[in-house]
Each structure stands twice: as structure tokens, then as C-alpha cells.
Chain A
Amino acid sequence: MIVAQNVTKTFGTKAAVKDMNCTIPKGCIYGLIGSNGAGKSTFLRLITGIYRPDNGEITVDGQPVYENPKTKAKITFVPDDLYFPGGASMNRMADLYANVYAKFDRAYFTTMASRLHLDPKKPTGGFSKGMRRQAATILALATRPDYIFFDETFDGLDPVVRNMVKNLIAEDVIERQTTVILTSHSLRELEDTCDQLALLHMGGVVFESDVQDLQTTSFKVQIAFSDEYDSTRFEDMELRDFNKRGSVSTFIVRGDREQMGSKLRAMNPVLLDILPLSLEEVFIHEMQALGYAFDLEVTE
């Protein structure tokens, strides 16, 4: 489990991460969403021990990370800016990883490289961006980590490569119960992959929830009554974004779908539609509920 308590990291006068608190359970795929400069990459560098927090503490399985090789041995990080020294082939990178990470699994590396049709003898300088991402992912997974962090890994990849990389990660999670953190500025990149999502804004987690919960507890309702009414008719419900045009109103409601449906039907509406929300819509509404103006960049 990863626990961040009141973590702050400042660069010059700018706080990239400010009083951040979050708990990432073991074995989950955790998505961090935030616009550029929200603090995603800084947070990942803090939990990989690249940065030392100015304040607060980050622990992985109860142990601090910074300058703690034992804990770091459980972690692999795939940054946005990949490390492939000039002219290095995948084989040479595998040698480097094998020297740096004691658990590096060369057999896994070879199998995966062959499966993804990547030539391990070819210099990675000649690889496309997607191939380099795949190569970096294979190398990282071959270290057999307990925790693996991907920074903007899917951004800019074509759908085929994106799926390949996602599948690689999913296989590892299923086989080895690896804890994964993925960051992106795009919610759509993560919604079908993550168990938990958190939104980072101005260096802090402003919202964190289970994806399943989010998608099953918020709904869009379209309803009409023959008589005149307003939002007070739904006072006992957790309502947002009430909008009425003529006799038809739409709103977002939170709660159990069945219970909510029964309640609304009991009001004898002339029209009732309960529609599922996209994760993006849920996020926007949840954020509005928290009083944040949702950054459009997050939703692309």
C-alpha cells in the first residue's frame, strides 16, 4: 500500500505538490488525472524516490522510499521522457536493467519482445514513439515489480499500440497482483483501465473515488410531470444540475439506481428516463459538487 501524508514538493517558489494526501491500496490500478502542471509527474517522482519531499512522508508498504533500496527494489517507473541512451538496443537496455534491478526476468523480456515484434538487437533510436513505449513497458515489467508507475504512458499513442500496452499491464496485474499507477491528462485514456481514479489539481488530490462506485452511483435523469413542479419535489434526493425546460427537467442524481428508480416512479411522472453517465460526466459533476471549476483540459 502506498500512503502519502501531507506531502509537499516545491521548485523554487512554486509548489508542484502541496499537502497531498492519498492512499493507494495494494493490487489496484490507480489513475491520476490532472492538467499539465497539476503535479502528476512530481508525485510519481516522489513515490519512486527520485525526489525527496520537502514536507510530509511517503511510504510504500509502511517503509519510506527515498534512499531506501529495499523499498525501491519493489518499484519500477516508466517516465514520460524515456531513458534510452544513444545507440542503445533493447538488449543493451536489458543488460542495464539486469544490473540495476536484481529481479530482472530476461526470459519474460525475450518472450515479450518477440510477442510484440520488437527487434531487441536494433538500436532503439530507430524505433517509433509507440515502439519505444512498448520497449520501455516490457523492460519495466521484466523487473517483476510489486509497484509500477507509468507517467503519461498512453498519451499520443495510436489505439492499436495503446491497447497492446494496456494489455501488457493488465496481464501483469492479473498474474502478479501488481499495483499500478497511471497518469494522464485525459480521463478517457484511463477510464477503461483503472480501478480507482484521483484528480490532481494545483498539486493536491481534489477528488478520489472507486471507478465502479462512480459509474454505478450517479445517473442522469430525464423526467416530466403533468403538473407544475420545481426542484423542491426532489428534496430528499442528492441532486445536481437541475435543469427545467417546459415540463421536462434533467438532473444528476446520486444513489442506488433501483431505489432511485422506484422513488421517481412513485411520483407518477409522465416521462422518466434514467441514463448512465460517462466517467467524464461523473467527474465533472463530482468536481462541481466540490466547488472546483473543472479544467477543460482534463477532459480534452
Chain B
Amino acid sequence: MFNFSLYKAGLRKAMPIGLTYAILATVLSTGLPLLHISSIANSQIGFRVYAPIGWSDVSIFAHLALGVAPLMCLHLFGFLHDRAGSDFFHAAPHKRESIFLSKLTAILTWIVPIIWGSTLLSSAIFSTSPHISMINMYPILRNLVGLTAAVLLVMAATLIAMASTGTTFSTIMLTAMILFVPRALFALVILFFSEIVWVVSGVNFGIFGNHSLNIIISSLVDHGGNSWQTQPWPSILYTATLALLYFGGALFIFKRRRSEQAGFAGANPVSQSIIRIVIAFAITAPFLFPVIFGTWNMTGAETIATVVGSIGGAIFAVLVYEAISLRRFPKGREWRGLAIGLAVVALLNVGSMGAMTISRNIILDRNITTENVTAVSVRFPNQRWGHLPSYSELQAVDISLTDSELIAVLVASLDEYTAANRIGNRGRSWHENLRSHYRYGNESRYRWRGNDVLVTFTVDGRDVQRRLVPITAHRNSIHDSMARSEEFQNAYLNLPANPEHFWMNSEWRWCDESEEQIFLPALESSQIREVYEILREEVRGLPASVWLSVYRVDGWWCCCDFAANSYQQGFVHYGVIRARGMSSGREYESAFPITSATPRAAARLNELRAAMPAE
């Protein structure tokens, strides 16, 4: 299964790439943090701004492995693209799995230590100056596991492509297809489906609807969002499992690969057929779907043009693919194979749209009433995209609420939304249906889809998830009902017990009385912790409405950590304590306002500030 000599040969062959990457990663992983620290240290003369260090600050060079690892695969398994090399290794006195695993291990021996080493080196350097930069190691370690899984996935996809085809170009094409096409197709189907069934969201499709499970896709789609946060374990497990499955597939194909395939772009007949079907389906479905479901406003001529155009486009794209991969057009019996492939595509289109129609009816007919709903939980979209969630947000996620008024409001909202959905499919788009429905009687009730909420109804003991776009009146009722909920209040009134890091930046503020700017110096970490403990004690005893009025922004608790308008609430603002830590396996960053609503914390803050030497 494994041959040490082949492994050594692999290590040596990968050395030019591995060593270059290792040197680059080491130098930059050392240099950039030092530069970062020194620039902050210099900027702190007279004014302190602390820098919480996140995953993206320490892993820039580790992320390069997503490109370097497949490059190494292309280099070490390059013999698969070269007839002479392919013959040499296939004649070698080793089992094919031994060649595969030994070379794969050699690549991992280079890549994994560089990923971990460079990240840990950066983290260690940042940790040497805790007075400037704060770093939580647990999320970084977990994200490292996630990144390693992602690199494995890219490698596995590359190896499947290499084992299936015979040239670098076709390998790159196929790798991209393996990595992205399945998710793109899922996304396409979900997009189509949510066009005809408004109340569904990706959550309703389980692992198929949750693109964040795949760390590669998540890194691209959620860049600045989830990628900034701690990778959830399900994502890591999913990505690692997918990588292992792909490695298994790559080994399977590698073992059965014919040496003579080297140098020929055409994948083996099975993958060639799958690729053709995927290309044709991806081209026809987006056009045939709106025609069949009438979600686009089209005249008869436009409809015919769309159908003919999409089918013609699919045939053209498949022929282009054949011409590139086989370096010729199909001939003889191959035309029959192509025709069968297109028939499969037609069946896929008809089948998937039929399945969508049936599912649509089942979902819209689901009986959800105030009588059979026992609890609800409400999730608002994350409007602070690109930031870590706050501690309170994490506590408030998916709290099960039993408030009968809230249930009534949500059921009413669902009914209204479902009714709007039912009048669809009459030649009008989702957007038009929604507009006509919500504009009915009162234009101000119109809401865009961006204001949706995800509601989980507990119906007869089972969770049913629905996406709603509540009208303003419903939305306000939802907020009020939630604010009354004890569980929800507790999520906000119980501040985290032991955040790993505290910081408070220096700031200039306008003084209300003198209308002059005054300098508020930053405190040391131990001093902030002291103030925070007082604040925590005080907040626990506050009426929820008071704390939430200080805490909320624009009426949204899901995204209201910044007390920007506390003056308007009648409270005086003294500063913000920021904290970072872990809760339920996720990293959070919270900002707690010190205001006149918490006078003891405010008084202690002012005392400490007054005792500080002028900077």
C-alpha cells in the first residue's frame, strides 16, 4: 500500500515547489506580524487602538496551499500526462495504490506542516505582544483543521481529474467542475425552487442547500463572512469526508487508468458522458425553467426563441467540449452516445421540474395554524456581514419561543405570504407577484426579499422551517413579542462570564456641556476587566427594556451591538468595552456600552481614567 522509496522520490520531486512555498511562508509569516505590531505600537503614541487578531490575519500564507497543493499534484502525478512517464510508472514493480499513496503522502508531508507552521508562527509572533494584539488560539486551531480539510478536498478533486484525463488543460477544467459544479447545480435548483415556493430557503434542502458546509465554496461565496469566523465542526467534517470520498474515487480511477490515456484530453467514457450531461443540463435548465413555470414575462416568440436557443446552446457547448477534449468532432457511433446524453438531459429537466411542482404543492399545502404550532424560533439575517457574531447573538440564535402572540403573528405572516405565493405562476415573476400583493392597499407595506426572516415552527412536535418576508406591522409585532420573551431577554442581559480578551480604545468625544472635544484614554486590560465585572453585575439587574434600548440599533437586536444612538435614548455614553471569546464552539466579538444606564460601571471607568497619566 505504501512504499518508502517512492515516498522519498516524491518528497524530492516536490522539493522545488515545497521549499519555495516554505521559505515564502516562513519569511512572510514572520515579517507581516512584526510589521503589523510595530505599526500599531508606533500609532499608539498618545492614542491606543487595539488590534484583535483573527484567522485571516494569521492564515494568509496557509491559504496559498489551496493553490500550491494542486500544483504539487500536477507536478508529482505529471507522469499521467506524459506517455513515457506513464509507461515508466506503470511498468514499475509497485502496486498502483502504492504509487498513488506514496506520492500523495509526499505532497502532504510538504503541505500540511507549511500550513500549520506558518499559521502558528504568525500566531506566536502576535502572542508576544498581548498588550497590542489579542489572539484566540482555539478558533485558529479549528480553522486550521478546516483549511487542511479544504486543501485535501482540492487535492482530491485534482487527482480525480488527473486520473480521468490526460492533459493539464483538461485536468484543470475537470478539477474546477468537480469542485464547483455540484454546488452550483444545487444552488441553481434551490434558486429555481425558491422562485416558485417563496417560503423555502436553503435550510429546507439540508446538506444540499447549505453551501457553507463545503469550506472551499464557503471561502469563495462567504468571503469576509463565514470565512472570517470559526469554521463550524459540521463544515469541517463535511469537507474532510468529501475529501476522503474523492481520494477514494481518485484511487479507484487511478487503479483502472490505462497508460495510453496519457497525452489525450478526453476523459474516460463514463466521465466524458457525465461531463456532457452536466454541461447540457446547466445550460438548458436556467432557460427552460422560467418558460415552464412562467416566472419570466415572455411573448410567444420569446418563449420559442428561449427554448430553441437553450437547446441549441447546449448542443453547441457539448460539441465545443468534444472538440477540445477529443481534438475532433464526434464520428460514427459517438453521435448516438451524444443523442442519448441529450435525451438524459431532457429527462433530467422534465423530471426535476416535475419533482419541483409536486414539492411546491406539498409545501404550500402544509397545514400550519396557531392551533398546531407549539413553539417558534426566529432567525434574522446577519446584517453585520464580515464581522464575528456578538455573544448575545449566539445566545439568541434558535431560542424556542412559546409566546402565543408571537406564534399568531408568525402564522398570520406565513398565511399572507403563502397566499401571495399561490397567486403566482400566472406569467408574472416572483418580484411582480410580491410587489402586487404587498402593494395591495398600502404601498409602504412592500418589502424586499432581503428583509426575510427564517422561522422554525414546531408543528406537532416536528420542526418546519419557513422563510418569510413580514410586512412592517408583522415585523414590529415580532420584535415586541420577542422582547417580552424571558429567554430572549436572558440572552442579552447575561453578559459572557470570562471573555478571553478585553480592550478599550482611546477616543476623542464631543463633550455635551462644553461642546469641545475631550480625550478619553484607553485602560489597561486588568482595569477594563474590573469595569466589565461591575457592568456585568449591573446589567443582570437592569430591566431588559433599559439595556436593550441602550444596546439596540434601528430596532434590530440581531445586529445591535453598537450603541451609536444612546444619547437619543436619554443615556450618556462613556465608552465601549470590547470583548472576544468563545461560546458554544464559536468565536464572538461583543461591544458593551458604558452609559448612564449602568452608573456604577460608568463611575469606575471615569475614576480609572482620571487616575491615568496624561498620554
Contacts and interface: CB of A to CB of B under 8 A. Distances in A.
B87 A50 contact: yes
A95 interface: yes
Interface string B90-109: 11111110100000000000
Interface centre among A50, A72, A96, A101 (most CB of B within 10 A): A50
A282 B89 CA distance: 39
A75 B91 CA distance: 8
Interface residues of B, number: 25
Contact of A83 (B6, B12, B84, B93): B84
A228 B499 CA distance: 123
B387 interface: no
B87 A100 contact: no
Interface in A57-101: 67, 69-73, 75-77, 79, 81-85, 95-96, 98-101
Contact of A69 (B12, B79, B94): B94
A73 to B, nearest CB: 4
Given A45-B87, A79-B84, A95-B12, A72 B92 contact: yes
A85 B77 CA distance: 12
Interface in B56-107: 78-79, 82-85, 87-96, 98
B5 interface: yes
Nearest to A82: B84
A99 B8 contact: yes
A45 B83 CA distance: 12
Contacts of B158: none
B318 to A, nearest CB: 21
A101 B95 contact: no
A70 B96 CA distance: 13
A83 B9 contact: no
A50 B259 CA distance: 7
Contacts of A76: 91
B91 A69 contact: no
A81 B83 contact: yes
B163 to A, nearest CB: 16
B258 interface: yes
B443 interface: no
Given A99-B6, A100-B5, A100-B9, A48 B93 contact: no
Contact of B96 (A48, A67, A95, A102): A67
A100 B92 contact: yes
Contacts of B90: 49-50
Given A79-B87, A83-B88, A72 B5 contact: no
Nearest to A49: B91
Interface centre among A67, A83, A95 (most CB of B within 10 A): A83
B432 interface: no
A270 B87 CA distance: 61
A69 B97 CA distance: 12
A76 to B, nearest CB: 8
Nearest to B83: A81
A225 interface: no
Contacts of A83: 79, 82, 84-85, 87-88
B9 A99 contact: yes
Interface centre among B12, B79, B91, B96 (most CB of A within 10 A): B91
B260 interface: yes
Nearest to A72: B93
B6 A100 contact: yes
A100 B260 contact: no
B336 to A, nearest CB: 15
B428 to A, nearest CB: 53
A251 interface: no
Contact of B93 (A11, A96, A100): A100
A51 interface: yes
Contacts of B95: 67, 69
A49 B9 CA distance: 22
Interface centre among B82, B84, B88 (most CB of A within 10 A): B88
B232 to A, nearest CB: 42
Interface in B129-181: none
B89 to A, nearest CB: 8
B88 to A, nearest CB: 4
A45 B87 CA distance: 8
Contacts of A70: 93
B87 A69 contact: no
Nearest to B8: A99
Interface in A1-53: 11, 45, 48-51
Nearest to B6: A99
A51 B83 CA distance: 13
B8 A51 contact: no
Given A96-B9, A100-B9, A77 B87 contact: yes
Nearest to A143: B93
Interface centre among A69, A71, A73, A76 (most CB of B within 10 A): A69
A170 B12 CA distance: 35
B13 to A, nearest CB: 8
B179 to A, nearest CB: 28
Nearest to B98: A69
B5 to A, nearest CB: 4
B5 A51 contact: no
Interface string A137-162: 00000000000000000000000000
Contacts of B98: 69
Contacts of A99: 5-6, 8-9
Given A72-B92, A100-B94, A51 B259 contact: yes
Contact of A102 (B5, B82, B259): B5
Contacts of A51: 258-260
A11 B261 CA distance: 11
A189 B258 CA distance: 31
Contacts of A102: 5, 93
10 contacts: A45-B91, A48-B91, A50-B90, A51-B258, A72-B92, A81-B87, A83-B84, A85-B78, A100-B93, A101-B93
Given A69-B95, A77-B91, 14 more contacts: A45-B91, A45-B259, A51-B260, A67-B95, A72-B93, A73-B93, A83-B79, A83-B84, A83-B85, A84-B84, A98-B5, A100-B5, A100-B93, A102-B93
